[in-house]
Each structure stands twice: as C-alpha cells, then as structure tokens.
Structure 1
Amino acid sequence: MAVSNQTMVTEFILQGFSESRPLQLALFCIFFFLYIMALAGNALIVLAVRLDSGLHTPMYFFLANLAILDIGCTTTVLPKLLENLADKKSIPYVGCMTQLYFLTWFLGAELLLFTAMAYDRYVAICHPLHYTTMMSRMVCILLAGSVWAVSAISSSVHTGLMIQLTFCGPNKIEHFLCEIPTLLLLSCTSTYLNNITIVIADIYFGVINFVLTMVSYGFIISSILKIRTTEGKKKAFSTCSSHLIVVTIYYTTVIYTYILPATGSSMDNGKVVAVLYTAISPTLNPLIYTLRNKDFKTALKKIIFFIFLKGK
C-alpha cells in the first residue's frame, strides 16, 4: 500500500564514466570510432557472405549471423552512450525497457550462436565425410532460426517480468545502460520471480551452452592431435582458433556481468566489462575472423574492386 502512494518512475538517469568535460569528449570520440568500426566491419562480413558464392558455407553463414547480432548489440547501446556523454543522461522508462529487451535478446542469441558454430566446427573436423549431410542448408537455417527465436522468447520473459515491477524511486541507474542486474536494484517490489528466471537463464545460456561449446572443442582438439602432419594440424586448428578466442572473451565478460553478484564494489568494473561486450568485442570480431582467413580476404578484395569499378 505504501508503494501506491509514491510517484512512479517515468524516466531513469544513467550514470556515465566521468563528470570531467575533457574526459567525456575523449570518451565520446573513442566510442564513436568504435561504433563506426563495428558497423563497417560487421556490415562488410554480411556483404561478403551475401555476394561471394565461395562463402556460401555453414561456417560463413553463422559468421554472418554473428555479424548481424554484433551490429544489433552495438546499435542498442552505443548511440545512447554517446548521447549520455553529450550530457543527455536521462532515458524514458519505455526506452529503458526497449533497450533491455534488445540487449538481452542479442546477448543471449550470441551465446547460443557460439554453440552452433562450435558444433559446425566439430562436424567439419571430426566428421568431414558426413559434413554436407549433417550441416545441410536446412539444418543451418533451423539452427540459426532456433538461436534467434529461443533468445527472443527468453528476452520477452525477462522484460515482461521487469515491466511487472514497480519503480518508485530512486531512479538513478549505476550504469551507462539498462541491464537486468542494475534495474532490479531499483525495484520497490519483490524481485523473487525475476531472480529465479535469471538463475534459469544463467544455467541454460551460460553454463549449459558453455559446457557444450567446450565439449565440442575437446573433441576437435583431440581430432587435431591425431592428424599426423604438422601442416594438417595447423590448417585444422586455424579454422576454429578464431572462434575459440572470441568465445573465451565473450563468455568471460558476460559471466562476470550476469552470473557474478552485482555488488556496489563491482559497479565500476561492471561498466568496463560491459564496454568489452557491447563495443570492443563487436569491433574486434570482424578483425579476428578475417585477418587470417584467405577466403575472406579474397572476397573482400573482390567487393572493393567491384565498388571501385562501379564508382568509376
């Protein structure tokens, strides 16, 4: 009853990184650069996979899906962060819930997609003779569709439960984005059901998918070690090493944010970690996946050459 007599929150105040104007300007330039690089790099991956028939394989199909998720993740967070650094720190309640929905959707989908990509590499290296059958076009579409759908359903549940909570003040979010852990700290009503669903989601998206990914790579590494030639081992490992690097970075940051307790002492560290998976990781992913990939380099050269000729 006491809650009903209080003013309901209609907007939240996001906390930035610093109140120093010179530092805010520097951060604005850095994040703007990261955003443009993430958009350009991931858009090039999608374009290359779409236009080059040599990249019409399951591995690149999943990589294009990852690039789309990275574009969505950065676009959900960085424009608002740039606005925050320009001194517009408020975000409407509806805007906050929208950001929460899409961010949770994209983050969950990436974790599921990493498992699908690990399975693809497992089949390619451990069962090469059955690869075309086990990773047919229909199987790839079903896997990718399941990744997007399951994460969307999970995000809808989390956001729906968040909307059911009452926020009656304070309205200052100790973060630069709307995330589940920080928003729950501001609720005036019980968050018991929210916490239960978070634990279930952590177990499914974090623990189970991480175990499945690591098991896949256990079989992959075992198969690679059985290859007799050094050149063969290098070639096999090069097809999955980039994915393993990205998975390690991503899981480390997401687990820190969503599984470890969001205590006050960890809030500043939490901001840095959030920057890693919303800005740094989407920017680095195109570089990690393409710099050592001859097929991608060839495809990009064709695209650049085509654009150059068309411009003339």
Structure 2
Amino acid sequence: MDSELNITYITLGGHVEVDKYRYLYFLMMFTVYFLIICSNSTIVYLIWVHQNLHKPMYIFIAALLLNSLLISTAIYPKLLIDLSEKQLISYSACLFQCFLYYSLNGSEFLLLAAMSYDRYVSICKPLQYHTIMKKTTVRIFLGFAWFVPACQVALPVSLSANTKLCNFTLKAIFCNNSIYKLHCVSSRALTVYSGIFFFNVTLLPVLFIIFTYTKIFIVTYQSRREVRMKAAQTCLPHLLVLISFSFLFTYDVVIVKLELELPKTIHFIMTLQVILYHPLFNPIIYGLKMKEIYNHIRRLFCQRKLHQHINK
C-alpha cells in the first residue's frame, strides 16, 4: 500500500516464470491481440459497409464481435504492460477491470440469446419475421444486452471498493472474481448476489437458447432437406460459439467459487484459453461458416491482391 497517496496496489501473481519467458510472452500476447483486432474489426467493417448484411442476424454478429474486441481491450493492454514491468495494479483499477470483464461477458450470453431468438423467428415464424424483428426490436435487444449486465455487476464492484483487504496478491494474470478472495471477511450477501448474477446473465440465456434451438430442431426435422441445410448453415456457428464460450466462462467462475487448488501452470494455461481462444474463434467461425460474410471476405482479399498486382 502506498500510504502517501493512499493507493492500494495488488500484485498479479498468476504468471508462470515471467522473468524467464518475458519476451516470449510479450510477443505471443501482442500477436494474439493484433490478430483479435484485425479479424474482428474486418468482419464488423464488412457488415457495416455492405447493405445486404444489414439484417438482424448480421447486426447481432457484429455486436458479438465488437463485444469480443471490448473484452480483449479490457485485458490485453494491461497484460502487455505487466509483461514489460512489474505485475502491479491499483485496487480501484483492478475493480474496474473486473467490472468490464464480467459485464461484457454477461453481454456475450445475452447477445447469443438474442441471436438464437432471431434464428427461431426466422425459421419457425418466417411470415412474421419482418414484423417481429424490426430495427426497434434489434436496438432494444442490443441495449438490453449491454445495459443489464453492467448494472448487475456495478453493485458488487461498488460495494467492494471500500472493503478492507488482508491479502494483496491475486492468483491470476488479470482481475477476475478471485479479487473477492483478497477481502478480510467473506461476504455471504456478495456470494448470494454473485450467484443471482450468474443465474440471470448465464443460465437463463443458455436455457432460453436451448429452448429456441429445440423448437428449431423440431420444425426443421419435419421440413424439407433444403430447409434443414439452411438452418444448419446459420445455426451451427452460433452453437459452436455458445458451447466454447460457456465452457470457458464456467471454468473462470466455478474454479474460484469451488476454491480448487490447481497447479499454477495448469491454471495459467486455462486462463490464457479464456482470453485467447474465444476472441479468435468467433471471427473464424462466422467468417468461414456464414456464406454471405465469407463471400465478402473473399472479395475483399481478391481485390487487394488485384490492386497489388496492378501496382507492380
């Protein structure tokens, strides 16, 4: 603690042999962050500029990829600074990073739920699609997805701001829910509220997604082969993203709540998966599996190659 400035600093102790592999870690993290920015931004840009992609399904995909960019930006810049200097962060900055991380992760689940509802209406109620999925409806879903988790995470984070700390070393490489283990006294109310938050922005959206995809499966099973193929083409990427994200987020939350003492190296590797795998997985899945987006990506790179060839 810096008594002169009255600032409490937390040591991020989740790194493994950071002094030995500092430059390797930095190069790897910088490369991954660069790829995350480029891949996600490219698809968001394509959806933004092409009129035929101005549909609810693609708008939700753009929002999901933008959300991944925001999550990565909340983590990677500080992570890169930590790899070049000491692994320290002020307690207030740590709480803010924790707030961004969990509110945006909550938004991810709600955006996936909105996407599943869009697919449900499109496949199960095609004649009513344009009546239900209006621009106003899409805006409400997007606002709800970002506003509700932020409000729910703000309360426990603000309550933790003035909580007395008895431990100043966080067993993580960024500020996650293990920050509550630094408190001198464990708050039962905080634990209950965290469970309610997890239920509201994780379990409820997942249950809703399971319900909508069950309905979609029933309808497509009774339809023609062409309908089943089209449904699989649009729904499969969404399910793959949901499964991967649910697994990684559940690990991040449950591993702290159960207080499992995993070897530091395993915990470090799994934490890297949480922040590395998903932001890169999203653009690959949607870029390759969504035909309209893939066609625009192919045209974009073909135009660049043609332009380079003409310049030569």
TM (norm. structure 2) is 0.89
| 2:170 alignment counterpart | 173
| 2:222 alignment counterpart | 226
User: 2:7·2:90 contact (CA, 8 Å) conserved in 1?
Assistant: no
| 2:58 alignment counterpart | 60
For each residue in 1:168-202, what CA deviation from the matched residue of structure 2 results, as whole angstroms up to 9, or x when unmatched?
A: x320000001112x111110134222111101111
Q: 1:300 to 1:183 in 2, by over 3 A?
A: same
User: 1:9·1:171 contact (CA, 8 Å) conserved in 2?
Assistant: no
Q: 1:64 to 1:110 in 2, by over 3 A?
A: same
Q: CA deviation at 1:38?
A: 0.8
Q: CA deviation at 1:105?
A: 1.4
| 1:193 alignment counterpart | 189
User: 1:16·1:84 contact (CA, 8 Å) conserved in 2?
Assistant: no
| 1:286 alignment counterpart | 283
Looking at structure 2, the residues matched to 150 and 309 of structure 1 have their Cα atoms a distance apart, in angstroms, of 46
Q: CA deviation at 1:264?
A: 4.4
Looking at structure 1, the residues matched to 229 and 260 of structure 2 have their Cα atoms a distance apart, in angstroms, of 45
Match of 2:111 among 110, 113, 120: 113
Looking at structure 1, the residues matched to 19 and 68 of structure 2 have their Cα atoms a distance apart, in angstroms, of 29
| 1:203 alignment counterpart | 199
Q: CA deviation at 1:270?
A: 4.5
Q: 1:142 to 1:17 in 2, by over 3 A?
A: same
Looking at structure 2, the residues matched to 207 and 14 of structure 1 have their Cα atoms a distance apart, in angstroms, of 30
How is 1:252-263 mapped onto 2 (pairs within 5 angstroms)?
252-260=247-255, 261-263=257-259
| 2:233 alignment counterpart | 238
User: 2:180·2:186 contact (CA, 8 Å) conserved in 1?
Assistant: no
AA matched with 1:299: H
Q: 1:129 to 1:271 in 2, by over 3 A?
A: farther
> Secondary structure of 1:116's partner?
helix
Q: 1:267 to 1:197 in 2, by over 3 A?
A: farther
Unaligned runs of 5+ in 2: 1-5
Structure 1 vs Structure 2: percent identity of aligned residues? 25
> Secondary structure of 1:201's partner?
helix
Work out the number of aligned pairs and report it. Answer: 303
Looking at structure 2, the residues matched to 148 and 136 of structure 1 have their Cα atoms a distance apart, in angstroms, of 19
Looking at structure 2, the residues matched to 23 and 283 of structure 1 have their Cα atoms a distance apart, in angstroms, of 23
Looking at structure 1, the residues matched to 258 and 87 of structure 2 have their Cα atoms a distance apart, in angstroms, of 21
For each residue in 1:129-185, what CA deviation from the matched residue of structure 2 results, as whole angstroms up to 9, or x when unmatched?
A: 111111111111111111111011112112112213211x320000001112x1111
Looking at structure 2, the residues matched to 191 and 308 of structure 1 have their Cα atoms a distance apart, in angstroms, of 62
User: 1:121·1:240 contact (CA, 8 Å) conserved in 2?
Assistant: yes
Q: CA deviation at 1:52?
A: 0.5
| 2:78 alignment counterpart | 80
User: 1:41·1:283 contact (CA, 8 Å) conserved in 2?
Assistant: yes
Looking at structure 2, the residues matched to 162 and 55 of structure 1 have their Cα atoms a distance apart, in angstroms, of 43
How is 1:11-22 mapped onto 2 (pairs within 5 angstroms)?
11-19=9-17, 21-22=19-20
| 1:296 alignment counterpart | 293
User: 1:24·1:85 contact (CA, 8 Å) conserved in 2?
Assistant: yes
Q: 1:69 to 1:21 in 2, by over 3 A?
A: same
| 1:125 alignment counterpart | 123
User: 1:97·1:163 contact (CA, 8 Å) conserved in 2?
Assistant: yes
> Secondary structure of 1:13's partner?
strand
> Secondary structure of 1:265's partner?
coil
User: 2:107·2:146 contact (CA, 8 Å) conserved in 1?
Assistant: yes
TM (norm. structure 1) is 0.89
AA matched with 1:149: F
User: 1:31·1:82 contact (CA, 8 Å) conserved in 2?
Assistant: yes
Unaligned runs of 5+ in 1: 1-7
User: 2:220·2:231 contact (CA, 8 Å) conserved in 1?
Assistant: yes
Looking at structure 2, the residues matched to 74 and 213 of structure 1 have their Cα atoms a distance apart, in angstroms, of 25
Q: 1:276 to 1:20 in 2, by over 3 A?
A: closer
| 2:3 alignment counterpart | none
Q: 1:204 to 1:55 in 2, by over 3 A?
A: same
